[in-house]
Amino acid sequence: MPKKKGFKPTLFKDLDRERKRKFTQINDKWTNHPFVEFFFGLWEEYIAWWEGDQYKYYNRALKALTDVTALVDRDVKNVYNRIMPSVRAQWGELRYPHEFHVAANSSEAEDIKAAMMGSRTVEFLHEERKFRRKINRAKLWSLICGISYWKVWWDSSLWGLSPRGDGNGNRKVQGDVNFDYVNPFNCRPDPISIDRDGWRYFLEGKRVPTSLIEAEFELEPGTVPGEVIKSSDIKETGLFERDDYDFGDEPTCVRMEWYERETFEGNKTGRFIVTTKDMMFYDGKNPNPEGVLGYFPVPGLVPKLNTPIYDSAVRIMQQPQRQFNRLCSQVDEHVENWKIKGMIPYGSLLPGEKEAFTRNGVDYVTYNSRMGQPYFQSPPPLPEFLGYWVSFMENEMETESSVRKTSLGQIPKYAQRASGVLFDSIKRQDDIVLVPAIEELDVTLAESVKFELELVQANYTEDRLIKSVGRHRVTSVVAFIGADLRDNTDVRVRPGTDIITTKNKKEQVVMAMIEKGMIDEPRKALEMMGMKDVEDFMEDEFMDERQARRQLEIMKEGKTSIHPHRDDNHQVMYDTFNTARKSEEWDSLSEEAKKNIETRIEEERAWIPELENKPVPGEEPAAPEPPVQETPPGEVIPGEAGAIQLPEMAVPGGAGVTGAGGSPNPPVSVKEIMAQLMPQGGM
């Protein structure tokens, strides 16, 4: 929220003529927007069906959900919900990690450094604001309703940290970038355009306690009128509000935010208004850079042509689900009516004996044997094709939703002992239909992250501390201001189309790359498998490399020069520092840091001959050791009978028995290392 100066919260009746017109326009769009007329009722129906309430339909004449259970000509009206597991499977496939990085505008060192800071800032903000949890909830709304929205804004209620000028700790700075999903019932986008590029305005509303608005705008308690809601119908509230949940007795109201671009009514700075149905609280310019609308549509599965929304995963399955419920209910009804009949002649049982004679699950009939025996007409047998028809409708739902048994972790009926190759190929066909939706989602999120950086650039007017955790658990904290980005806000996203969802699949891919020689480093193999404890597992074997990276990070600051120690693993030290010299980050380092690192590389180079038993610089050659007597063939060295020599992890650089630092045993291949880690018996 921008600062609320220059406008005093005012009741509608006290507004001037122009603001009354705008206030009326906003409330009219909230109530009579095309989304409310054409989509809201259907979305309510989709939510009911997804939750298993599948005898409700949206009645356009009544503009409400109608329960048609009483109109169904059956005694048994069960629901066999196949929609929920299907949507859950699709939601699970879409829950992949999103990785963003900023591309530099040029090859200049300053732009490269700015792009790196942009990437770190995005990583920091997404960790702080719980990006993955929020975007996953947005995806679920999009699957069910066909659309949801992602909002990015500058939140003045948040705060960041800035270093004090005197070096004594940090201080709080007001405001920071925030983002969250917005369910489609709370949104009224410009209906003229079917995509975001053509939006002229965006209206968002949500129910909040009146006390929060009074605190936000510094008003006296009781100033904001609370709304009295008689029902949860959308036609009255404009929101999706459940009958089985409410806000209690606390007064509430619908808080609406109106964002407007210059193209809507010619206002050069755009417009931003905060209202309820009774008061206007703020009226000023659009606070976003260049008057941009900070909302982004999160797509569903398949676009509905020439409309601004996508098709619902629920609607796609509704017709076969309806038939499936009908056929299975007929089977259940037949089974329930097929009961044993107990015939009791009148007077054959004395008083009190009937209770001892009867059993649960049997229909008993008392009759007068002299007047003829009554009988029940047995229900006709179920036609043989009904069982086949039930299976057909189940297969039809799988076909229409592209969520087959393999997506639910089940083996197809036609493959009682399906091989891994068959299972994966069928599963892959289900995943392919998600590719277009994933590609469109990646584009949307790249635009939203670009807007995050634009807000950072515009609002970080003083140093902010940004924390990031890089590879090898190296944590760095840097201070920068928005101007340091130098307009480097071109965000790229790692495509999420090639989804490797299972650990076994990852292991197969990595092992295949090892067999072909594409991976020769154990650390890289374990990281690709996504093993979270890779650093702990390899800590001892890679202690030299960790030491080298710690020293490198210190020397990058340019204030300290660290010299080698005679007991270091100098090959690892040399490789680590020399690799840093070749990286893109090298161009952005200070001249002092470059000089110190280059000096360290030369110092490590001088120590490397020690690995080949050559004299250490500045020291006399050591006296040769006496030859070790070899053990004759067939003899066993005392004390070593029964000992098993296990291979050790190879140290980067190849330091062995005679090397400085690292593992005491000769290095082994990555295949042998992986053989120790992988479970036996294949994948």
The reply to whether 443 falls in a domain is no
Residue 177 scores a pLDDT above 90:
yes
| The amino acid at 10 | T
- Does the pTM of the predicted model rise above 0.75? no
Stronger pLDDT, 63 or 451, i.e. the higher one: 451
Q: Where a domain ends, among 275, 292, 309?
A: 292
The reply to whether 23 falls in a domain is yes
Residue 338, CA distances (Å) to 291, 335, 362, 604 in order: 70, 5, 10, 89
Rounded mean pLDDT of the chain? Answer: 78
DSSP 268: T
pLDDT at position 335, please? 76
Residue 208 scores a pLDDT above 50:
yes
The reply to whether 656 falls in a domain is yes
pLDDT at position 216, please? 92
User: 3-class DSSP state for residue 464?
Assistant: strand
Cα Rg of the chain, angstroms: 35
Residue 129 scores a pLDDT above 80:
yes
Burial class (CB in 10 A: 0-12, 13-18, 19+), 389: middle
Residue 487 scores a pLDDT above 50:
yes
What one-character-per-residue DSSP string does 195-240 give?
SGGG--EEEEEEEEEHHHHHHHTT--TT-SPPP--S---HHHHSS-
The reply to whether 223 falls in a domain is yes
The reply to whether 638 falls in a domain is no
Task: Give the pair of three-digit tokens for residue 302.
Answer: 């398949």
Over residues 59-87, mean pLDDT: 89
pLDDT tens, residue by residue, 416-435 = 555 555 555 655 666 677 78
pLDDT tens, residue by residue, 557-610 = 887 889 999 888 888 899 899 998 988 778 878 889 999 999 999 998 888 875
pLDDT at position 137, please? 96
Q: Considering its fold, how many domains does the chain have in total?
A: 2
Q: C-alpha 378: how far from its chain's center? A: 56
Over residues 375-390, mean pLDDT: 68
The reply to whether 542 falls in a domain is yes
Q: How many CB atoms lie within 10 A of CB 216?
A: 17
Task: Give the pair of three-digit tokens for residue 666.
Answer: 């000769």
pLDDT at position 657, please? 39
Q: How many CB atoms lie within 10 A of CB 438?
A: 19
Cα(604)–Cα(552) distance, rounded to whole angstroms? Answer: 13
Query: Tokens 């204030």 appear where?
Result: 559
Helix-strand-coil split of the chain, %, nearest 5? 45, 15, 40
Cα(113)–Cα(130) distance, rounded to whole angstroms? Answer: 26
Over residues 480-508, mean pLDDT: 65
Residue 192 scores a pLDDT above 80:
yes
Which of 254, 266, 262 minimizes the C-alpha distance to 286?
Answer: 262
pLDDT at position 681, please? 45
The reply to whether 450 falls in a domain is no
pLDDT tens, residue by residue, 305-323 = 989 999 999 999 999 899 8
The reply to whether 546 falls in a domain is yes
Q: How confident is the model at residue 258 (pLDDT cuts 50, 70, 90)?
A: very high
pLDDT at position 182, please? 96
Burial class (CB in 10 A: 0-12, 13-18, 19+), 183: buried
Provide the residue count of the chain.
683
Q: How confident is the model at residue 626 (pLDDT cuts 50, 70, 90)?
A: low
Over residues 74-88, mean pLDDT: 89
Q: Where a domain ends, among 263, 292, 321?
A: 292
Over residues 622-630, mean pLDDT: 54
Whether 485 and 117 have beta carbons less than 8 Å apart is answered as yes
Q: Where a domain ends, among 260, 292, 324?
A: 292
Strand 362-367 versus strand 340-345 pairing type: parallel
Strand order in the sheet with 295-299: 170-182, 147-163, 295-299
Over residues 542-555, mean pLDDT: 83
Q: What percent of the chain has pLDDT over 70?
A: 71
Domain containing 28: what range?
1-32+200-292
Stronger pLDDT, 639 or 461, i.e. the higher one: 461
Whether 120 and 468 have beta carbons less than 8 Å apart is answered as yes
Query: Tokens 């109201």 appear where?
Result: 253
Q: How confident is the model at residue 641 (pLDDT cuts 50, 70, 90)?
A: very low
